[in-house]
Each structure stands twice: as C-alpha cells, then as structure tokens.
Chains A and B, each alone.
Chain A
Amino acid sequence: MSEIREYIGIILIVIGLGFDFLGVLGLVRLPDVYNRLQAATKCVTFGSAGILLGVFVLQGLNSFGFKALLGIVFIFLTSPVAAHAISQAAHRARIPLSKKTVIDQYEEDKELKEGNNVSS
C-alpha cells in the first residue's frame, strides 16, 4: 500500500516538473512581456502546485503535509495578483507590445480619457 502511495507522489512531482520546465521555456521563447507573463505564470504556478501536492501525498497527514497544502493555497492566491500588477505597471510605463499584436483597446481608451482631460 505504501509503495503505491510513493509511486503516486513521484508521478505527481514529475508532472509538476515537466510543466515548470515548459513555463520557463515559454519565458525564454515568446516575444514580449505580456506573452511571457502569461506562459510563465500559468505553467509555473500549476507545476509548483503539482510538486507540493506530490510532497503532501508522500508525507501523509502530519504537520509537514499540511505545510505543503498551505503552500498550494498561498501560491494560487498570490501569483495571479502579482501577474496583474506587473502587467498593469508595464502597460502604464509604455513598454511596447510585440509586432504581432493585432488590437489594443486599452491604449485607445487611455488616449480617449487623456484627450477629454486636456480639452476640459
């Protein structure tokens, strides 16, 4: 029984590592800040959650395992907020989007608002 538990834990850790690696590869390959932020935030959050779930399965219901569960809840609550703050700051600091970008309705609305402020 305990061998099956160990196998499940190791498999969860390996899946999490695979997604970590793919997320970091996206951080290197994709063209601009926003696309990098998307790939890295999704894949690295999911991968680290998989690793922590594997640690919880390997350790069982003691204080060690509960710390791993607390870590999962914590990274699921914090990493989207950090991604949101960084992307908003980058757009307000005028960091350019990549050349493949099709449409930017946020920029249009900002220019509209600034124009109204100047005219009034």
Chain B
Amino acid sequence: MNVKIKSRLVVFVLSVLVWCALVDVSHIQEVIVGIIVAIFVSLFAGRFLIQEKGVKNIPKRFIKAIVYLFKFIWEMIKANFHVAYIVIHPLCPINPGIVKVRTDLKKDFSLTLLANSITLTPGTLTVDINDEKSELYIHCITVPSTSVDENSKAIVGKFEGLLKEVFE
C-alpha cells in the first residue's frame, strides 16, 4: 500500500476517535460533523505523520517506547526538585554556561524528541543545533565539565540509547 494513503487513513481514524472522546456521543449529528472534519483534516495535513515504510520489530519498539516514557517522567520529577532547591536556597547556587555535546541520531523526529527531553530534564536547556545535525548546544545551570566527550556522556547518554532502539 502507498505510504501516503496509509498515513492519511491513520490520521483519519485517530481524529475521529479524539473527536468522539471530546463530544457527547449520544447525538448522531455530532458524530457526522466529526467525520466531515476528520476527512478535511486527513486531506490537508494527513501526509506528514508516517514518512517511511518497512518498519520491523514493532512490539519490541513499543515496549522500549513505554520504558522511555517512564524514564522521562522520573527524570522530570528529579528536575523539578533540583530547580526548587536552587530557587529556595538564599544564595541561588548557580554556575551557568553553554556547552557543546555530540549526538549520533540522524532522523529529524528523534532529534526533536531528544531536544525536548533534554529541555525538561535537570538543569539543561537546548539552545541550538549546528548545520550538520551532529552537535547540540546546551545551556546548563551547573556546568559539569568543559570537555565535549564527558558532557556528551553525562547529558545525552541517558536518552540516546533508548531513542536509537525505538526509532532507528
């Protein structure tokens, strides 16, 4: 099956399900309006969701994605207590700086997820990516060290392995 048609079908089913969760399903005209809106959405924006074919090992990738989600939530709770400690402390013990780290990920989608995860985890914020998509610039509240390799292991290493197994 063509990839674009498959992607449009997936977007159509997902948007109908979300619409049915948001409105009162017992009236039939609400469901009809939802199907019309879903047709327009899948025609205009449906081709961006799935862009490759032949993905293998789907159950294993799904389990890894759930492991990634729980690890991400745990890191985020740690990040919040870290920031709360810095804000409450009378002297604000910060040591900020912008450092450079390397990454091995290639696809745009997994790079976006990696940057978002780094932004929501302790003391780090993604500022920019260079032109070859191989180095990220990260602002840290407390700088761990000045060498690129140690920073890569400390900041990116937590998520990179799991993301590579899930998406590539």
Interface of A toward B, CB cutoff 8 Å:
19, 22-23, 25-26, 29-32, 34-35, 37-39, 41-43, 45-46, 63, 66-67, 70, 76-77, 80-81, 83-84, 87-88, 91, 97-98, 100-107, 109
Interface flag for B141 (CB, 8 Å)? yes
User: What 0/1 pattern do residues 68 to 93 of B give for CB contact below 8 A with A?
Assistant: 00000000110110011011100010
B33 CB contacts on chain A under 8 angstroms? none
A87: shortest Cβ distance to chain B, in Å?
Answer: 5
Pick from B79, B95, B130: contact of A42, CB below 8 A.
Answer: B79
B139 contact from A38, A70, A80, Cβ within 8 A: A38
Chain A residues closer than 8 Å to B116, beta-carbon distance: 77, 80-81
Bound Cα distance from A100 to B126, whole angstroms:
19
B112's nearest neighbour on chain A, judged by CB, is A81
Check B76 against A46 for contact (C-beta < 8 Å).
yes
Over the window 20-36 of chain B, the binary record of Cβ atoms lying under 8 Å from chain A Cβ atoms (1 yes, 0 no) is 01111000000000000
Please tell me if the beta carbons of A42 and B96 are within 8 angstroms of each other in the complex.
Answer: no
Docked complex Cα distance between A100 and B87 (Å): 16
Within the complex, the shortest CB–CB distance from B114 to chain A, in Å, comes to 11
B87 touches A34 (CB 8 A): no
New contact pairs (11) apart from A38-B83, A42-B120, A103-B97, CB-CB < 8 Å: A22-B88, A30-B92, A31-B94, A32-B96, A35-B141, A38-B125, A42-B79, A42-B83, A84-B126, A101-B97, A105-B98
Q: Is B119 an interface residue (CB 8 A)?
A: yes
> Is the CB–CB distance between B22 and A84 below 8 Å?
no
CA distance A88 to B98 in the complex (A): 12
Which of A39, A98, A103 contacts B83, CB < 8 Å? Answer: A39
